[in-house]
Copies of this chain bind each other. A is one copy, B any other.
């Protein structure tokens, strides 16, 4: 699939590494190492590719700092990124190669008894671009290794359980990249704003969410939580588009306007959620989302970082390679 640089993976890594070298310099060396020696691939740091224009690493510039004023965020900003959109799209394609390679290592790890996984949690108001992140960022890796789950209004069955029940059921198995489109955090967002529970009940959830995520992290899951923040003006444009175009009507719900009328309440709820549930085990990253290309680039970067942090080589053979070669030759 020569047309899809972002989708090439370890399966054809010899080939794609060669291609990448042509357009992307440094990356190629890393991927070739992976083919010749187990666990050696990530030892030598790649020289920075020419297309990498992160002045400050995305993780550093976007990680939530308690007490920051969310209302002061420039939703059209591109924090940390010194390049333009074209630079960003180039880097994203290159990162897509690396992301797919890292995800395949994670999957291999899971298939050979490993216990690590990655969970990407996406939060954000309507039109903030959560779906676009799934399509364009998560879409760069093998769907075989992705467990995606969207959380809407709880079903009757879900309502009969604790609110974490459906969340636990959707956690990524070892080796998988889990993706939550909305999440357990709605328990301190819509539940709070729409007064679905008394204050004394939902206020307890902050501590519960943190305890839950600490437990998930301890079980081997790297948690990356992203809040996408769109400006009221940009949201208006995006909602208008959904009303304008018949192919987007299905994405529109009259309740979107109700939510829009409660933006100040949501702002307060998000502010407190960020302040109280951004932890060492499950940090929040707050991503300005008026520029879709930036939001997608940033999440690609965060996800790549998370997978790199696992430092996974290819699993060593748990069989006698020479003996198996002989067995195969004899068939």
Contacts and interface: CB of A to CB of B under 8 A. Distances in A.
Interface size class of A (residues with CB under 8 A): 35 or more
Contacts of A260: 328, 331
Nearest to A147: B148
Contact of A6 (B4, B35, B148): B4
Interface string A293-319: 000000000000000000000111101
A236 interface: yes
A49 interface: no
Q: How many copies does the complex hold?
A: 2
Nearest to A9: B135
A121 to B, nearest CB: 15
Contacts of A3: 3-6, 89, 93
Nearest to A255: B319
Interface stretch (A57-65, A76-84, A137-145, A157-165): A137-145
A4 B38 CA distance: 31
B134 A254 contact: no
B35 A245 contact: yes
A325 interface: yes
A1 B6 contact: yes
Interface string A108-135: 1001100000000000000000011011
A247 interface: yes
Given A35-B247, A144-B148, A246-B35, A240 B328 contact: yes
A190 interface: no
Interface string A146-162: 10101000000000000
A18 interface: no
Contacts of A314: 246-247, 249-250
A89 B139 contact: no
A244 to B, nearest CB: 8
Contacts of A93: 1, 3-4
Contacts of A257: 324, 327-328, 331
A34 interface: yes
A317 B112 CA distance: 48
B136 A144 contact: no
Contact of A89 (B1, B35, B254): B1
B136 A249 contact: no
Contacts of A37: 246
A30 interface: no
A160 to B, nearest CB: 18
Given A135-B142, A240-B328, 5 more contacts: A1-B89, A3-B93, A35-B245, A38-B246, A134-B142
20 contacts: A1-B6, A1-B92, A1-B136, A3-B93, A4-B4, A7-B136, A9-B135, A13-B247, A34-B247, A35-B247, A108-B250, A111-B250, A112-B250, A139-B139, A139-B142, A240-B328, A243-B321, A243-B325, A246-B316, A250-B314
